[in-house]
Amino acid sequence: MATSNLSSMSNFEASTPVDNEVNIDLDFYHTLFIYMRLLKFDNKTMSEKHKMKFDKDLFKVPNQRAFQLVVHFLFTKLDGPRSRDIIFRDVWPIIERKQEAEFRKKVRLWLVEVQETDKDAFQFDGHINPSMFLSPGGEKFAQLMCALASHVLGKIPLRNPPLEPSTVSSTNPLVTFLKLQVLKGHLHSEFEAKTKMTNSFQEQYLQYKMLARELQSEYRELCSEEVAAKKDLCSTVAKSSMAESKKQAFLDLENEEICLGIFHILKLQ
Q: What is the residue-level pLDDT of the chain in tens, covering all 269 positions?
A: 434 443 443 443 434 444 444 444 567 888 888 889 888 899 899 999 999 999 889 999 999 999 999 999 999 999 999 999 999 999 998 999 899 999 999 999 999 998 888 876 677 878 899 999 999 999 999 989 988 988 888 887 654 444 444 444 445 566 566 666 666 666 666 666 666 666 666 777 777 778 888 888 888 888 888 888 778 777 777 777 767 776 676 666 554 555 555 555 555 55
Cβ-Cβ contacts under 8 Å for 240 (sequence gap 6 or more): 247, 262, 265, 266, 269
Query: Is residue 113 included in any domain, yes or no?
Result: yes
> Are residue 45 and residue 119 in the same domain, yes or no?
yes
> Are residue 137 and residue 26 in the same domain, yes or no?
yes
The pTM (predicted TM-score) of the whole model is 0.52
> Are residue 34 and residue 140 in the same domain, yes or no?
yes
Residue 228 structural domain: 201-268
Asked if residue 28 lies in contact with residue 146, where contact means CB atoms within 8 angstroms, the answer is yes
> Are residue 140 and residue 29 in the same domain, yes or no?
yes
CA distance 119 to 125: 9
> Are residue 52 and residue 153 in the same domain, yes or no?
yes
Query: Is residue 10 included in any domain, yes or no?
Result: no
> Are residue 146 and residue 259 in the same domain, yes or no?
no
Query: Is residue 103 included in any domain, yes or no?
Result: yes
Distance of CA 47 to the CA centre of its chain: 38
Here the contacts of 198-203 (C-beta below 8 Å, separation 24 or greater) are 198/19, 198/21, 199/21, 202/18
Q: Specify the 3-state DSSP secondary structure of 21.
A: coil
Query: Is residue 169 included in any domain, yes or no?
Result: no
Asked if residue 216 lies in contact with residue 242, where contact means CB atoms within 8 angstroms, the answer is no
Asked if residue 143 lies in contact with residue 30, where contact means CB atoms within 8 angstroms, the answer is no
Distance of CA 109 to the CA centre of its chain: 21
Query: How many domains does the chain fold into?
Result: 2
Pick from 50, 130, 114: which is nearest to 77 by CA?
114
